Amino acid sequence: MLRVGLTGGIGAGKSTVATRLAEHGALVIDADRIAREVVEPGTDGLAEVVAAFGEDVLTDDGSLNRPALAAKAFADDESRRKLNAIVHPRVGARTAELMGQAAADGIVVHDVPLLVENGLAAHYHLVLVVDADPEVRVRRLVESRGMAEADARARIAAQASPEQRRLVADVWLDNGGAPDIVLSEVDALWADRIVPYEANVRLRRVRPLPSLKPVPHDDTWPVQAERVIARVRAAVGPKGENIEHIGPTAEPGTEAPDVIDLRLTANADVTEELAAAGFPRDPEDPPGLHRGADPGRPVTISVV
């Protein structure tokens, strides 16, 4: 199973991308929808919210009055933590349940608006970020959601910045133009990267290394390496003692083959953990060498 994280700021048009991926066959898990489900009328989640915040967080029909709850839950840090302690475990359990229902060869797209803010990027094989110019997003929020312009700008400013999202984005989708443009990009991404990546992970198959001819230095190589390092750390846990970016792509200004090379020092066998995270071993490679399964990003990991 391939885990894809999907995120983007309010008004960026993330649902357009999610819908297209679902049309291609992905199982889309909507974090916002689950957060609403776990506090629907009749759930123990709603009962616990009422017990914690009072009957006045309910509407006349017994459903959750979200503005009333927000006024109480976000009044101070302690109240916010109380609400999170009620909702987050239930969202996590339901998300795990849905992921567990995915086929062995499935592609799960986890649609999480606060993926960056909650530090979740390392837990996916691939992270897609949908973005659009802030003025485009403001116009969409005003025209399609009836939001006041000042409120729209405040909501955008309160979320992660484009710079923060770029740090975790394996794929950046600009959805500021005509819908057909981003949809064609999603179609190509699905066919050329996501589907082959899933097969590689499932079959424990590495992607071939590209040409080893040096290319001009890419200033994003260190950022790309940090994304891979975060995934490796999340995968191996306490078995990993140290991991570092090595080789020519770690040297500022140096021409190099477009391959991210890492060295992992481990205190136990991490073969299975790395393979599940998208870094299997090719039996023909030297012992201790793992390579990436992602068709879009060549990686080697030397395990010591």
Question: Which one, of 95, 102, 137, lies nearest residue 120 by Cα?
Answer: 95
Report the C-alpha gap between 279 and 276 in whole angstroms. Answer: 7
55-93 core/surface letters (b: 16 or more CB in 10 A; e: else) = eebbeeeeebeeeebeebbeeeeebeebbeebbeebbee
CB 115 within 8 A of CB 127: yes
List, as own/partner pairs, every contact residues 141-149 make where C-beta atoms lie below 8 angstroms and the sequence separation is at least 24, other chains included: 141/10, 141/11
CB 133 within 8 A of CB 205: no
Q: DSSP state, 258?
A: S
Is 14 annotated as a binding-site member? Answer: yes
- Write the CB contacts of 31 (distance below 8 Å, at least 6 apart in sequence): 91, 95, 110, 111, 112, 113, 114
Is 16 annotated as a binding-site member? Answer: yes
CB 3 within 8 A of CB 110: yes
Is 12 annotated as a binding-site member? Answer: yes
Q: Which two tokens stand for residue 169?
A: 């984005």
Q: Which residues are part of a known binding site? A: 11-16
**Which residue ranges are tagged as binding site for ATP?**
11-16
